[in-house]
Amino acid sequence: MIPQSSTATWRHEPPPQTVNGGEVPRKWNEAEAAQWLSSDTAAEMLDFPRRIAASIVSIDGNVSRILDIASGPGSFLKVFLEMFPDSVGIWHDASDTMRTAAEKELDSYASRISWVQGDMYNFAASALQPGLDVVLTSRATHHFTPQELAKFYAGIAPLLRSGGWIINLDHAYLGSPWDSLFRSARRELIPKKRSDDSAGHKHEKAAPEIADHIAALRNAGITEVQIAWQAYYTFLIVARKP
């Protein structure tokens, strides 16, 4: 296991804030990570697109090695381990709280999982081995700038075998007027579990647009890209390496 370093960036970390005259990321503490878990209202809704992703990959062929970056409680990885019973998975996140939640969620698959605590902004430091069949990530890259997103996908591409998949289930900025309209509509259908401002996590900048994801993937050499599902501002993008 790669130990968590003092520079690790958490799965749901807010963007950098200016501290003492410099750009220093504000890390989430474990209490905030636990609060995110308890305030997550979208888990049930997102089970469907997770299963869509697994079904698409299953039609394409067998899967042996799966990496889930910013895995959190391991919900996405669990669906793939269930769909591909001969596969092994790599859980990758920086939070001890998320790991504890994932160990409980993934208990039935424990013998098939490697645990790596690392930074999604610099996952290359985790020395992950290439030849992966699938790389998953969910509800994390909306914290990136478009430039950081491009770097992220460019780093993933060499880890995939030819024909391997990058799959991202995340939120996007939809532009005016749709972004605010869709967010309001989603709150009507899926209200917050808590009304106080500390529930969930804040965003100081807009998420990348879906077009940013498509462009970044293609610039990384992943030219087969498709949006497989979308609800409000949350989308599932599937991309296959040539």
My answer on whether omega of the bond before 177 falls inside 30° of 0, hence cis, is: yes
Strand order in the sheet with 160-171: 113-117, 88-93, 65-69, 132-138, 160-171, 234-240, 224-231
For 22-73, how does the pLDDT look when each residue is reduced to its tens digit (9 = 90+)? 333 445 577 777 776 766 667 788 999 999 999 999 999 889 999 999 999 9
Most confident region among 49-53, 97-101, 122-126 by mean pLDDT: 49-53
* Res 242 pLDDT > 80: yes
Nearest-CA neighbor of 228 among 57, 79, 41? Answer: 57
The residue with greater pLDDT, 25 or 92, is 92
* Res 241 pLDDT > 60: yes
> 154 vs 122, 151, 205, 218, 241, CA distance in Å?
12, 5, 22, 9, 12
What span, in angstroms and rounded, lies between the C-alpha atoms of 227 and 9? 27
Structure tokens at 97: 């709280």
Note whether residue 10 is domain-resident.
no
Whose tokens are 């990959």? That residue is: 57
* Res 111 pLDDT > 90: yes
Residue type, 5: S
What is the pLDDT, as a whole number, of residue 61? 86
The residue with greater pLDDT, 155 or 22, is 155
Contact 13, 26 (CB under 8 A): yes
DSSP reduced 3-state for 150: helix
What is the pLDDT, as a whole number, of residue 202? 61
Is residue 9 very low, low, confident or very high in pLDDT (cuts 50, 70, 90)? very low
The residue with greater pLDDT, 26 or 118, is 118
Query: How many separate domains does the chain show?
Result: 1
Domain that holds residue 213: 33-240
Give the least confident one: 72-81, 172-181, 186-195. 186-195
Note whether residue 114 is domain-resident.
yes
The whole-model pTM stands at: 0.84
Note whether residue 41 is domain-resident.
yes
* Res 104 pLDDT > 90: yes
Note whether residue 175 is domain-resident.
yes
Other C-beta atoms closer than 10 Å to the C-beta of 151 total 17
Note whether residue 3 is domain-resident.
no
Note whether residue 15 is domain-resident.
no
The CATH number covering residue 236 comes to 3.40.50.150
Note whether residue 211 is domain-resident.
yes
DSSP reduced 3-state for 32: helix
